[in-house]
Amino acid sequence: MKSLVTDIRLQFNKSHQPELVLVLSLSPQQAQEGVQELKEVLGKGKRLQAEIKQYRKRRSLDANAYCWVLCQKIAEVIGSTKELVYQNFIRDVGQFEIIPIRDDAVDRWIRNWQSKGLGWYAEILSDSKIEGYKNVISYFGSSVYDSGEMSVLINEIVNQCHELGIETKPEEEIKSLIESWGRK
């Protein structure tokens, strides 16, 4: 179950265990169905995990489409493909994790990671401090970026366009797009 939270309250039950009460942006029917599904999971002896975090508006499809339009324009000027241009931007300014991977599992890790999409790139960075492991830098594709991360990517692409003399949307439109992504 996923929902925006409009209010939150902490209370304690008779056993002095904390209970978190959330007011959700769901209809009564959606809430009942969601709670029923969760109770069924608990009834099977399985555990649930909850994470509550600040809401960030996801990037818009317009942002993604604009990203690809600009990558195509850059590719035409430099004699490359939009896919390679995109991947280079992901490596330059994208989100990543450095993960120690056992030496004998590195190739499979990289293959599996990169199978998620064009922006999902991984490569060996260095030997790990852990014997028998390599540090693999694993970049996330923009499909999982929030609006702030996507705006960094778009701004970098726009800057490259300006350096290459490629026309982009007016600065006001780009600023408006970024603001509509919820960037603070």
The pLDDT, as a whole number, for residue 60 is 59
Average pLDDT of the residues in 72-91: 97
Does residue 149 sit in the same domain as residue 121?
yes
Task: Kindly state the percentage of the chain with pLDDT values over 90.
Answer: 67
Q: For the chain, how many helices (H) and strands (E)? A: 6, 5
pLDDT, one tens digit per residue, over 6-43 is 999 999 999 999 999 999 988 889 889 989 999 999 99
Q: Which domain holds residue 168?
A: 61-180
Other Cβ atoms less than 10 A from the Cβ of 75: the count is: 16
Number of structural domains (the chain) is 2
Does residue 159 sit in the same domain as residue 80?
yes
Average pLDDT of the residues in 104-130: 96
Does residue 102 sit in the same domain as residue 152?
yes
3-state SS, 120-136, equals CCEEEEEECCCCCEEEE
The pLDDT, as a whole number, for residue 21 is 92
Does residue 103 sit in the same domain as residue 27?
no
Residue 54 lies in a domain: no
Residue 171 lies in a domain: yes
Task: Kindly state the percentage of the chain with pLDDT values over 70.
Answer: 93
Does residue 106 sit in the same domain as residue 144?
yes
Does residue 87 sit in the same domain as residue 159?
yes
